[in-house]
Amino acid sequence: MESLRISRPFDAHVHLREGDILKTVLPYTADVFFSAVAMGNLKEPISTAEQVRVYREQILSALPSGSNFMPIMSVMLQKNMTPEILEQTFEAGAQVLKFIPAATSTNSSASNGVTIPELRNYYPVLAKAADLGMIFSGHWELARDAGNVEIPELERERLAIPWLRGIISDFSELKIMVEHVTTAEMIEVVKAAPDNVAATITAHHLMLEAKDVMDPSGRIINSLNYCKPVAKTHRDRMAVVETAVSGHPRFFFGSDSAPHPISAKRRIPPAAGIFSDPVALSIVAQVFEERGFLNRMKNFTSGFGPQFYGLPISQETIVLEERYWRVPESIDGIPVFMGGKAVKYQIVS
């Protein structure tokens, strides 16, 4: 029986939510990961220093007792953002400037959000982020074309590439994250970029393809697998898998674990997001093992992320053992990714 001991991992992208959901989901992140980047797209998106402080306190006070989990705080790039406000949020503990283009994901409203083309108006903010050493974490999906026509979801990441290239060439001193890569083309962009550019890969994008989510017409057939960016073609998924196991130091784990109550996942259109942290590492282990690279998993989950973020690698460890277990369908009314299925690796300590 295979077992694997790795440094406590780092989740470079998680949605911990707030209130009761926060209390339910937090242990699944905090008991496993030594640290995680807590995204700030709350009902009221985090955009001020005060909100950063309050949310940090909320997370810390919801932690299981004795936990030394370290949340990395983020602030959202919203219309009101200025270099001055950004600096205040940094002083309040924010290390990540998070960009979710307007109206492309949960709680990124069209009214306060910034679109990808509008990023050019926020160059002073990005320059300030670079000065402060903050990480610019982007969800790179273009929602509308130049004629303001909505772009189909499967094309959005590819069509964001020219805009991202512009940001990369204009900001050589800014650490730029390409969150949750899903296309072979975007992966090539990140590989070709300089060392200040890195990407996260989720567990669910190692497993899912568009056919697991929607029919050929784009109608959603499995809302539990629906997230943004939506899973793409087989060829794209293979590129994601090959890149994850390749040992490239600028591709590392970020779960994008994004819990929603079952009612929100069942409505039409469903809420976008997959609650994966309870099963994410088991899936990653299974994928790395299938490819014959289980020995590389530790860098992907525990090494490259902290390295890019400037964090120490955790001195604590966890052990994954080859032992089938059945993933719960849901936890407190929140559906879990791969719920009801058996997965091969279990975290035993």
The residues that touch Zn ion, with contacts defined as CB under 5 A, are: 256
Catalytic residue among 11, 236, 256, 277: 256
Of residues 11 and 256, the one with the C-beta less far from Zn ion: 256
Token pair, residue 3, equals 């077992």
Please indicate whether residue 256 is annotated as part of the active site: yes
Of residues 40 and 306, the one with the C-beta less far from Zn ion: 40
HSE of 326, CA atoms in CB hemisphere, 13 A: 4
Tell me which H or E stretch contains 252.
Answer: strand 251-253
Least Å distance, CB 48 to Zn ion, is 20
Of residues 100 and 294, the one with the C-beta less far from Zn ion: 100
Of residues 115 and 317, the one with the C-beta less far from Zn ion: 115
Distance, in Å, from the CA atom of 89 to the CA atom of 45, rounded to the nearest integer, reads 13
What is each CA distance from 247 to 232, 243, 253, 297, 301, in whole angstroms? 22, 7, 12, 8, 11
Contact 40/81 with Cβ under 8 angstroms?
no
Least Å distance, CB 14 to Zn ion, is 8
Of residues 256 and 277, the one with the C-beta less far from Zn ion: 256
Partners of 346 in the beta sheet?
321
Distance, in Å, from the CA atom of 143 to the CA atom of 270, rounded to the nearest integer, reads 17
Measured in degrees and rounded to the nearest 5, phi and psi for residue 271 equal -65, 140
Q: Name the residue with the smallest CB distance to Zn ion.
A: 256
Least Å distance, CB 106 to Zn ion, is 8
Least Å distance, CB 219 to Zn ion, is 24
Distance, in Å, from the CA atom of 323 to the CA atom of 326, rounded to the nearest integer, reads 10
Tell me, what DSSP letter sits at residue 299?
A: I
Contact 73/36 with Cβ under 8 angstroms?
no
Least Å distance, CB 288 to Zn ion, is 23
Q: What is the set of active-site residues?
A: 256
